[in-house]
């Protein structure tokens, strides 16, 4: 079991060292370490921050299901464009280089794509964090309500029996 976490940590560390402006990031509902669910915009040879006016960050690793995905991005020496989006959903942008994107996924696809558009000045950088929350399916709530109703019925029946 521990070997799996060590392997995941090594893969995560290797991916952080080899980051380009366009990147793929493994995300977790419950991150194994505090360094997970985090990404950085870094310049590498031939591909800089927002080179060509955009960066694409793909988040992978989630099983199919219902999730609330919250991405916050903060940058320096850059200006975000209103075209920036998470899976096509626009976010909240500020002139101070901050952005926030919330997305509810109900599709079987396990990846999310953050498209960042803008202009980078000299020394531009950005970083971001992803929070993923699993959302129970409607059937789960229905079973819970049915169980509570059954408990109420049993309590009422028991009370009526004791009163007689």
Domains and CATH numbers, the chain: 2-136 (2.60.120)
DSSP state of 7: H
136 has pLDDT over 80: no
Q: Which residues contact 111 (CB under 8 A, 6 or more apart)?
A: 58, 59, 60, 62
Question: Rounded CA gap, 131 and 133, in Å?
Answer: 7
**How would you class 47 by CB atoms within 10 Å of its CB: exposed for 0-12, middle for 13-18, buried for 19 or more?**
middle
CA-nearest of 79, 90, 149, 85 to 119 is: 79
Q: With contact defined as beta carbons under 8 Å apart, do 47 and 22 qualify?
A: yes
4 has pLDDT over 70: no
Q: Which residues contact 97 (CB under 8 A, 6 or more apart)?
A: 74, 75, 76, 77, 78, 79, 80, 126
Question: Rounded CA gap, 96 and 61, in Å?
Answer: 31
Structure tokens at 87: 């899976």
- Among 6-10, 31-35, 59-63, 96-100, name the one with the lowest average pLDDT: 6-10
Question: Rounded CA gap, 137 and 106, in Å?
Answer: 9
Over residues 62-102, the pLDDT tens digits come to: 887 778 888 888 888 888 888 888 888 888 877 667 778 77
């Amino acid at each position: 079991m521990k070997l799996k976490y060590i392997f995941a940590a090594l893969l995560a560390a290797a991916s952080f060292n080899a980051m380009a402006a366009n990147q793929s990031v493994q995300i977790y509902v419950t991150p194994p370490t505090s360094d997970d669910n985090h990404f950085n915009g870094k310049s590498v040879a031939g591909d800089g921050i927002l080179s060509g006016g955009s960066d694409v960050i793909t988040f992978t690793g989630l099983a199919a299901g219902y999730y609330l995905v919250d991405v916050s991005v903060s940058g320096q020496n850059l200006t975000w464009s209103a075209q920036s989006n998470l899976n096509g959903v626009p976010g909240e942008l500020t002139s101070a280089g901050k952005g926030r994107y919330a997305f509810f996924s109900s599709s079987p696809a396990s990846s999310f794509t953050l498209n960042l558009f803008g202009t980078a000045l000299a020394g531009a950088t950005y970083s971001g964090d992803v929070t993923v929350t699993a959302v129970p399916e409607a059937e789960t709530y229905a079973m819970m309500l049915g169980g509570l109703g059954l408990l109420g019925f049993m309590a009422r029946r028991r009370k009526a029996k004791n009163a007689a």
